[in-house]
């Protein structure tokens, strides 16, 4: 829809749309970070998030991958922020952003599914389900509208999903190895996943004792697992699974870049460190 507007207005290329979306995403990402951590850590985390090489390279290309990362990353961040603040505006913003992520690419359903699982656990613990139902309805509404439109317009293509239960050890091994190769490749994502792992270990005591950022970690890990299941249940008749892992999955993992930096910046140790640094810099 965004691309259509610029072409209707006479533009020869649509590259301005993803570039502008990325620019304002950087501002929005700093904003949600600033709500939950110190100014210094928020600014540094935003800078390091921007330095993910492959994601930055795609930020001015007319593809949907970075757009999806924008919506999915902010959606997860706002939902995690709501779990900390219980400000309902953040819950509804998170739901709508995650819904928009499915308008970019259908596999964005994994983020909605992962978030709904974590919110279900929260609802059971608090014995209140109303807001969880609101979130689920809002996040799925854009997808429902899209699927109805495709049904009415006859836009469905031949199904590629394997809907039966099965076990293929070789295929599962390829997926695990492919994911690991992507996570450990600094050329694509810079320091993102290394820093993410370091802060998981460094903040482990607070996660166990105080459940600090445990829900956010659950959303990220479940999203990875669910995406692995999606890749596993695809019938690769048009391309090899190796190419899908090397190219499609590489771009899908852009979504985890803002999530991982948001996690690192909002951990207990990062927030305490930010307070110390800001007191030191202000000479208080």
Average pLDDT over residues 233-243: 85
Give the tokens for residue 94. 């998170």
pLDDT at site 5: 83
pLDDT at site 23: 94
Give the tokens for residue 166. 């099965």
CA distances from 226 to 76, 223, 273 (A): 15, 5, 33
17-36 pLDDT, tens digit each: 888 999 999 999 999 999 99
Banded model confidence at residue 44, pLDDT cuts 50, 70, 90: very high
pLDDT at site 18: 87
Give the tokens for residue 63. 């593809």
Average pLDDT over residues 119-136: 94
4-13 pLDDT, tens digit each: 888 888 888 8
Q: Is the pLDDT of residue 91 over 90?
A: yes
Phi, psi dihedrals of residue 237, rounded to the nearest 5°? -95, -15
Average pLDDT over residues 112-116: 96
Q: Is the pLDDT of residue 110 over 70?
A: yes
pLDDT at site 284: 61
pLDDT at site 19: 87
CA Rg, the chain, in Å? 19
Supply the pTM of this predicted model. Answer: 0.94
140-161 pLDDT, tens digit each: 998 899 889 888 888 766 667 7
Residue count (the chain): 284
157-198 pLDDT, tens digit each: 666 778 888 899 999 999 999 999 999 999 999 999 999 999
Segment 3-9 long-range contacts (CB within 8 Å, at least 24 positions apart): 3/62
How crowded is residue 148: how many other Cβ atoms within 10 Å of its Cβ? 10
Average pLDDT over residues 97-125: 95
Percent of the chain with pLDDT over 70: 98
pLDDT at site 157: 64
Q: Which of 35, 94, 74 is nearest to 254 (CA)?
A: 74
Q: Which of 17, 140, 121, 133 is nearest to 75 (CA)?
A: 140
């Amino acid at each position: 829809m965004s691309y259509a507007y610029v072409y209707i207005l006479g533009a020869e290329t649509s590259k301005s749309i993803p570039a502008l979306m990325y620019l304002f995403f950087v501002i929005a990402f700093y904003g949600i970070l600033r709500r939950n951590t110190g100014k210094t850590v928020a600014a540094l985390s935003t800078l390091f998030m921007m330095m993910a090489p492959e994601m930055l390279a795609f930020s001015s290309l007319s593809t949907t991958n970075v757009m999806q990362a924008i919506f999915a990353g902010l959606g997860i961040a706002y939902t995690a922020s709501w779990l900390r603040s219980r400000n309902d505006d953040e819950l509804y913003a998170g739901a709508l952003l995650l819904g928009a992520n499915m308008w970019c690419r259908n596999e964005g359903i994994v983020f909605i599914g992962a978030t709904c699982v974590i919110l279900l656990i929260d609802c059971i613990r608090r014995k209140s389900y109303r807001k969880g139902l609101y979130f689920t309805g809002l996040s799925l509404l854009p997808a429902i509208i899209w699927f109805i439109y495709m049904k009415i317009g006859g836009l469905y293509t031949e199904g590629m999903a394997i809907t039966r239960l099965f076990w293929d050890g070789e295929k599962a091994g390829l997926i695990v190895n492919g994911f690991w190769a992507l996570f450990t490749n600094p050329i694509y994502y810079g320091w993102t996943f290394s820093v993410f792992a370091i802060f998981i270990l460094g903040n482990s005591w607070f996660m166990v004792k105080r459940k600090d950022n445990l829900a956010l970690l659950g959303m990220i890990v479940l999203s990875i697992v669910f995406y692995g299941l999606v890749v596993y249940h695809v019938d690769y008749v048009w391309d090899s699974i190796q190419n899908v892992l090397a190219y499609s999955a590489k771009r899908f993992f852009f979504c985890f870049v803002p999530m991982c930096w948001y996690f690192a910046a909002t951990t207990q140790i990062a927030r305490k460190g930010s307070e110390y640094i800001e007191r030191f810099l202000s000479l208080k």
